[in-house]
Amino acid sequence: MAEKRLIYIDLLRVLSSVMVIATHVVMHYINCFPVHSIPWGMLETAKGITQFAVPVFFMISGAMILSGKREESYSSFLKRRFSKIALPFLSWSVIYFLFFALVKDKFELDLLVFFKAFFTQDISGHFWFMYTILVLYLFLPFFKRLVSVLDEKQLLLLIGALFAFSSLLPFVNGLMSRAVGFEIAIPEFSKQAAYFGYMLTGYWLHTTALLKKKWFAQILPIAGAAALVLMSVLTWFESQKKIDQFYLNITYPLVVIFSIAVMGCVKLWIGDKKIRGVVIVSLGKLSFTAYLVHMLWLRGMQIFIPQSFIKELSAVQALPYLLGEFAVGLAGSFLVAWACSKIKYVNRIF
């Protein structure tokens, strides 16, 4: 009998996978329309909505790993985690390399060229998440030990400190650089600190009783909606010849607030129900592979729907292409993931 799984976690996995595909489709179309036109504005708003996807992936990892009850050595933790991620990542990297070498003529078909592209993160842009999560996994056993001895107040202080120096300060410095041409001379943390902040936040949302408080449950969706509106409005006013993604940065405060609100609201809505055998659970299991494969579908379709072609279309004419690209990318990604999961031995390497 299949194990019971947390339905809200699998729903978040599926939502985030869908939003990742959506954001890559949107970015293929958005700069094909004049800035501040109605279709551009709609795509810009859609881009803002999708920004919670990767932060939620980080928060899910934190929620599941840091709250885990299993006691294991550092080496067994890494072996178990890396076996689930590293081999599929390498396998799909080879497939992407072959695609870009044979179809897009991006690479010379050579083993040394592959290794150079792999170790310089040059094969496919969306793989940045894989390099990042593999590095973060090296530290998670230590964070797991840390959160086990922190009370909730101390945990929130740690989360606040991480985001203050990796999110708020770089955001303020970015604003000051744009407005007055100088920045505050306080050392900033790297983006990796923000990713750890997301993981710890995911753990906190997964374990806190604060979500049961009426006032917090009321504030959370309001804060998320306000952050989304601000993202869209400020991006609208800042964009000139093309979309300005400053306010859409996934480590900056508006996206942080929006992402926390999304995960918190989904958990509030569904709770800690565990279930087996439903569609969301099945799709949740496939979401990792769907993430890895989706850019193959999108890049393949974009050969036949280049931006030069889209720029000749009106918004009404472009809409079927956009929706079709999204639908094929979404369905194709989960279909490939499902097929890989059903084939013996293939399911171990993909």
The per-residue pLDDT for range 94-134, each reduced to its tens digit, is 999 999 999 988 999 999 999 999 999 999 999 999 999 99
pLDDT at 322 over 60: yes
Identify which of 294, 299, 296, 286 has the alpha carbon closest to the alpha carbon of residue 340.
286
Tens of pLDDT, residue by residue over 188-219, are: 788 999 999 999 999 999 999 998 899 999 99
Report residue 2's pLDDT band, with 50, 70 and 90 as the boundaries: low
Place of tokens 């939620």: 56
What share of the chain in percent tops pLDDT 90? 82
Place of tokens 């920045």: 183
Burial 285-307 (b: 16+ CB within 10 A, else e): bbbbbbbbbbbbbbbebbeebee
pLDDT at 1 over 70: no
Tens of pLDDT, residue by residue over 242-255, are: 889 999 999 999 99
pLDDT at 9 over 90: yes
pLDDT at 71 over 90: no
